[in-house]
Chains A and B, each alone.
Chain A
Amino acid sequence: MPRVTFLDPRGRPATIDAAAGVSLMLAAVRAQVPGVLGECGGSLACATCHVYVDPAFAAGLPPVSPAEDEMLDATASERRATSRLSCQIVLTDALDGLVVTVPDAQI
């Protein structure tokens, strides 16, 4: 059961225990983490589940697909090198301890 910490834009943490096999977006929405909307449910149509991933975990993440790359260009908050759409990150035990930051705005 991977544990994930979401930092709000001011750096305040919220830690959740998520189920392995679900997306980071779904885990956040289920736990009602503020600032992760996931309006399209993971169909890569809304870019409202944008997060900044702590670089320490970059190597353990799946690569950015061309479709995710397109949507990352359309996020409401600035795209950074660490930007990901959380619907595209499936949680595994290897990602236990993952830390991500929620951006200022999603819409």
Chain B
Amino acid sequence: MPDAALHPSEGLSAPVIDVDPYSDAALDAPGAMHAAVRAAGPVVFLSRNGVHAMGRHRDIMPVLKDWETFSSTGGSGLADIRKPGAWRAPSPIVEVDPPQHTHVRTVLQRILSPAVIRQWREDFEKEAERLVAELVEKGAFCGVHDLAETYVSTTFPEALGLANSPERRDNLFLLGALNFDGQGPKNARFEETQRKADAIWDWYLDSMKREAMVPGGFGEKIFQAADRGEIDQETAPLLVRSFLRGGLDTTSSMISAALWYLAMDPSQWALLREDPSRIRPALDEAMRLETPIQNVCRQTTREVVIDGVTVPNDSKILVMLGAANRDPDQWERPDAFDVTRQTMGHLALGTGVHMCIGQMIARLEGEAVLKAMVAQVKTLALAGSPTRTLNNNLRSLKTLPLVVTAA
């Protein structure tokens, strides 16, 4: 797909900048690092990581839509998964391009169609109402552990149909941490997560097998699609793997971020209580500001000029979704949480053919939680300072002390 931003002529080479997106400081508060990337040019070269990077919204949008020039087959993270030493089985949905991608995406989109997800609404809302009632009774609780993570780790694995076990919750969050740490450099943070994950490796391998799927979940439907020959037999467990690794932390991060911003600003909470149809836009606004998956990678399939800067063929580009989502050239008051904002064009879920396939599940989970909160909670406030979990690519809160009064 050609685009005005991509000219087949010579451009300048990308400015080299010395920022470290993976330092504790940048992961804790990435705003300054993002601003430096945006200011330096449409594409920069990160000397420490040896990759190109982009942070401007207007340049990123066409890149994500042009899968032919900016391929996903090199892997979603910094490492080129096709190279010797780094090789691993690519995700059959995230790390392939059309036409193979179109085929698998179509099968999966049918299994996870909005019509299917709508049928879960009653169960999801009932669970949210039950959990929120319990927490309102307590009065003070942690928005991450007690609400967002408890809710997501109950509803999502049930929808997938992953058999329950005492270790299921902790193991799934550990797999999420590993997945997203693994998209960054092989630093000490990744090594430590990998060490912890080694201890649950057998559980992980077993959990993507057909035998782990409870009848009625969408995991079983993925295996049934393989039985019908719609996808390869070996593709089915790899698709389940993608959901095991990417389905929990992201949604939980969105929910806890929404709770945090609402707890910080009573006027925004009032707007939500006044008109609950603002709940879904509020979730988009939380996704924009938090951008749970901070970066995605693409790899050039030819030499390409982006806004006057040449990127050589076969270059990995770190696409900074979090930087684009607060780009002042795109957003008025980019750092303000505003549930009345038109958030269309935020890139927290990506865009184009690889846009998040689980987004309707995430939206349903988030909506159920906030709907229950709006119905049962009158005042919502912070009871202390939140803390962050530092992960190479997943931005999320670790703790969020909240205090509420009943409606």
Q: Which residues of A contact B (CB under 8 A)?
A: 26, 29-30, 32, 37-41, 43, 45-48, 66-67, 70-71, 73-76, 107
Does B280 belong to the interface (CB within 8 Å)? Answer: yes
- CB-contact partner of A43 in B113, B116, B355, under 8 A: B355
- CB-contact partner of A40 in B118, B280, B355, under 8 A: B355
A-facing residues in B310-366 (Cβ within 8 Å): 342, 344-345, 349, 351-353, 355-357, 359-360, 363
Using known A-B contacts A29-B342, A46-B360, determine if residue A40 contacts B349 with beta carbons closer than 8 Å: yes
Determine how close the nearest CB of chain B comes to the CB of A31; give it in whole angstroms. 11
Determine how close the nearest CB of chain A comes to the CB of B124; give it in whole angstroms. 13
Using known A-B contacts A40-B355, A67-B106, A70-B109, determine if residue A45 contacts B360 with beta carbons closer than 8 Å: yes
Determine how close the nearest CB of chain B comes to the CB of A85; give it in whole angstroms. 11
- Report the bound CA distance from A46 to B344 in whole Å: 13
Could you list some 24 contacts between A and B, CB below 8 A?
A: A26-B344, A29-B342, A29-B344, A30-B342, A39-B284, A39-B359, A39-B360, A39-B363, A41-B344, A41-B355, A43-B351, A43-B352, A43-B355, A45-B355, A47-B113, A47-B114, A66-B106, A70-B110, A71-B109, A71-B114, A74-B113, A74-B114, A76-B114, A107-B280
Does B199 belong to the interface (CB within 8 Å)? Answer: no
Taking a contact as CB atoms under 8 Å apart, the answer to whether A38 and B106 are in contact is no
**Chain B residues closer than 8 Å to A43, beta-carbon distance:** 351-353, 355
**Chain B residues closer than 8 Å to A30, beta-carbon distance:** 342
- Report the bound CA distance from A71 to B284 in whole Å: 21
Using known A-B contacts A45-B355, A46-B359, determine if residue A70 contacts B280 with beta carbons closer than 8 Å: no
**Chain A residues closer than 8 Å to B109, beta-carbon distance:** 45, 70-71
- Least CB separation from B117: chain A residue: A74
- Least CB separation from A66: chain B residue: B106
- Least CB separation from B346: chain A residue: A41
SS of A interface (majority): loop
**Chain B residues closer than 8 Å to A74, beta-carbon distance:** 113-116
Taking a contact as CB atoms under 8 Å apart, the answer to whether A70 and B342 are in contact is no
Query: Can you add 15 more A-B contacts, CB < 8 Å, to A47-B113, A48-B114, A75-B115?
Result: A29-B342, A32-B342, A39-B363, A43-B351, A43-B353, A45-B355, A47-B114, A66-B106, A70-B113, A71-B114, A73-B115, A75-B114, A76-B114, A76-B115, A107-B280
**Chain A residues closer than 8 Å to B351, beta-carbon distance:** 41, 43
List 7 A-B pairs, minimum CB-CB distance, nearest first.
A74-B113, A74-B115, A43-B355, A74-B114, A47-B114, A41-B344, A45-B355
- CB-contact partner of B359 in A26, A45, A66, A75, under 8 A: A45
Determine how close the nearest CB of chain A comes to the CB of B365; give it in whole angstroms. 13
Taking a contact as CB atoms under 8 Å apart, the answer to whether B118 and A76 are in contact is yes
- Report the bound CA distance from A74 to B360 in whole Å: 12
Determine how close the nearest CB of chain B comes to the CB of A83; give it in whole angstroms. 13
Taking a contact as CB atoms under 8 Å apart, the answer to whether A45 and B344 are in contact is no
Taking a contact as CB atoms under 8 Å apart, the answer to whether B114 and A46 are in contact is yes
- Report the bound CA distance from A37 to B283 in whole Å: 14
- Least CB separation from B61: chain A residue: A41
- Least CB separation from A45: chain B residue: B355
**Chain B residues closer than 8 Å to A32, beta-carbon distance:** 342
**Chain A residues closer than 8 Å to B106, beta-carbon distance:** 66-67, 70
Determine how close the nearest CB of chain B comes to the CB of A39; give it in whole angstroms. 7
- Least CB separation from A43: chain B residue: B355
Determine how close the nearest CB of chain A comes to the CB of B369; give it in whole angstroms. 16
**Chain A residues closer than 8 Å to B115, beta-carbon distance:** 73-76
**Chain A residues closer than 8 Å to B116, beta-carbon distance:** 74
- Least CB separation from A25: chain B residue: B344
- Report the bound CA distance from A37 to B110 in whole Å: 21
**Chain B residues closer than 8 Å to A40, beta-carbon distance:** 349, 355, 359
**Chain B residues closer than 8 Å to A48, beta-carbon distance:** 114
- Report the bound CA distance from A70 to B352 in whole Å: 17
Taking a contact as CB atoms under 8 Å apart, the answer to whether B114 and A38 are in contact is no
Taking a contact as CB atoms under 8 Å apart, the answer to whether B118 and A107 are in contact is yes
Taking a contact as CB atoms under 8 Å apart, the answer to whether A73 and B345 are in contact is no
Determine how close the nearest CB of chain B comes to the CB of A15; give it in whole angstroms. 20
- Least CB separation from B356: chain A residue: A45
- Report the bound CA distance from A66 to B349 in whole Å: 23
**Chain A residues closer than 8 Å to B342, beta-carbon distance:** 29-30, 32
- Least CB separation from B118: chain A residue: A76
- Report the bound CA distance from A48 to B355 in whole Å: 15
- Report the bound CA distance from A107 to B280 in whole Å: 10
Taking a contact as CB atoms under 8 Å apart, the answer to whether B345 and A41 are in contact is yes
Determine how close the nearest CB of chain A comes to the CB of B352; give it in whole angstroms. 6
A-facing residues in B266-306 (Cβ within 8 Å): 280, 284
